[in-house]
Structure 1
């Protein structure tokens, strides 16, 4: 049994994982393209974009809307922040969400990959990362229209996408056995130093923008949901540190800092790296 595990996943599972990672990398690359098109002042209109629109309707948007009314809560801090950032960072919700929603929702399969033993990633880390993003997409952004015009929505999805394209591409090439370029390995295990704080900070600010006003004692009449979201925002910093620590350990393992391992060398266990 141990020798079988050391050889990695079966051929069928390997082909499936290659397809999953390649599709995910392509999807996130397309999200970047759509966002940058807005920065260039272009409208995202193509047959590929039209293909994504019906996909977004298959996820439980209508169910969420029926069960939980769409509120319009916001606060002065978030409104002021958005006002100053709008001059530099455009809103990209209308151009990107129809592609972002199915691409990010597809990541829920990563939890099943761990449960079924397809990969050896740590389950708690995988669950936290995937579920937090799904909550932001379907529990926050989809329900609160004020986030659709928020510049921190743009920084959030760009941080996600710029992290995920190298990650999924790295896994796809590793599983295919065709060699991973050293620059891609470096990107996979180095860009998190910048992208994780931007992504996590944007996530917290997006959620914060959906909390009712708290100044002048108004927090005392917060709804239960507002209090829960405020608690989630409060744990974003320690949560970021957990992810940071995990990635720093993986970086030392893969890049072999101080262990004589060359940049871009194959990790001891490609599927265990996350």
Structure 2
């Protein structure tokens, strides 16, 4: 009896172990595919942005535009790639929720909401903002960051991340995150006049829900809390940098 019971337990343990291994393998395969797709998408973003900035373009006066003027064309060149792949990154919040990755859920959600709001609700909706230096800098900062981050994650799943890529992942954010955040805040601030003039996203009383909404005041509120949200993410990344680079050196 005792022997049969032990054999049954061992069999069940082996089955559970095999099932767990299969699930883990499927999750890893899915995450690898996801990160490869995002890598390709953001490479397209970066390539289109660099093309706008680096290749000479003729102005209305027949002269070659300088790089600052070219920055104002980055959004037009890159938006077809930026929008779908930024929206797709919503999956990363679900990865955290379902435990596919160890990332904290709340920062993942807030970062996705913040970036998507600036991209879709502000920059894509207020057309004059699309031809600004801030929009160009924003896209370049995002693209450079993601063209390092996603390959780093993909290779990490395979335990094949080179040291130089890991170093870039946890070093480039030092200048790029503040530049990106400053661009996001400038775009939101510059949109307020337009938002007030056309009453964009306003909800007026009376209505069925007995609810009013002034989007310009929402933008003011976001601008107040944005530096605090950014600081939390920024210092978290420094913590990750110390941990990841120290681990690899050890």
Which band: TM-score by shorter chain?
Answer: 0.7 to 0.9
The alignment of Structure 1 onto Structure 2 pairs a total of residues equal to 211
Cross-structure match for 1:27: 41
Which protein has greater RCO, CA pairs closer than 8 Å, 6+ apart?
1
Structure 2 residue corresponding to 1:146, chosen from 124, 128, 137: 128
Contact (CA 8 Å) 1:9, 1:118: kept in 2 or not?
Answer: no
When the two structures are superposed, what TM-score results if normalisation uses the length of structure 1? 0.70
Structure 2 residue corresponding to 1:172, chosen from 154, 157, 166: 154
Distance 2:132 2:51 in 1: 17
Structure 1 residue corresponding to 2:242, chosen from 248, 252, 274: 252
Distance 2:37 2:91 in 1: 13
Structure 1 residue corresponding to 2:229, chosen from 205, 215, 239: 239
Q: CA deviation at 1:88?
A: 6.7
Q: CA deviation at 1:262?
A: 4.3
Cross-structure match for 2:184: 203
Q: Does 1:158 align with 2:140?
A: yes
Q: CA deviation at 1:91?
A: 2.4
Distance 2:69 2:89 in 1: 32
When the two structures are superposed, what TM-score results if normalisation uses the length of structure 2? 0.76
Identify, as 1 or 2, the structure richer in helix: 2
Q: CA deviation at 1:41?
A: 3.3
Contact (CA 8 Å) 2:72, 2:130: kept in 1 or not?
Answer: no
Change (3 A) 1:96 1:88: closer
Q: CA deviation at 1:96?
A: 0.5
Q: Does 1:129 align with 2:129?
A: no
Distance 1:175 1:22 in 2: 11
Q: CA deviation at 1:42?
A: 6.3
| Match runs of 1:184-195 below 5 Å | 184-195=165-176
Q: CA deviation at 1:132?
A: 0.9
Report which of the two structures shows the higher radius of gyration computed on alpha carbons.
Answer: 2
Identify unmatched segments of 5+ residues in structure 2.
Answer: 1-12, 58-66, 203-213
- SS state at 1:210 partner: helix
Contact (CA 8 Å) 2:52, 2:70: kept in 1 or not?
Answer: no
CA RMSD of aligned residues (A): 2.8
Contact (CA 8 Å) 2:35, 2:150: kept in 1 or not?
Answer: yes
Cross-structure match for 1:58: none
Structure 1 residue corresponding to 2:101, chosen from 93, 115, 119: 119
- Listed one character per residue, the Cα deviations across residues 168-190 of structure 1 (whole Å, up to 9, x for unaligned) are 1111001023x111110101111
Cross-structure match for 1:101: 83
- Listed one character per residue, the Cα deviations across residues 199-248 of structure 1 (whole Å, up to 9, x for unaligned) are 000000111111118xxxx9xx9972111101211222112110111101
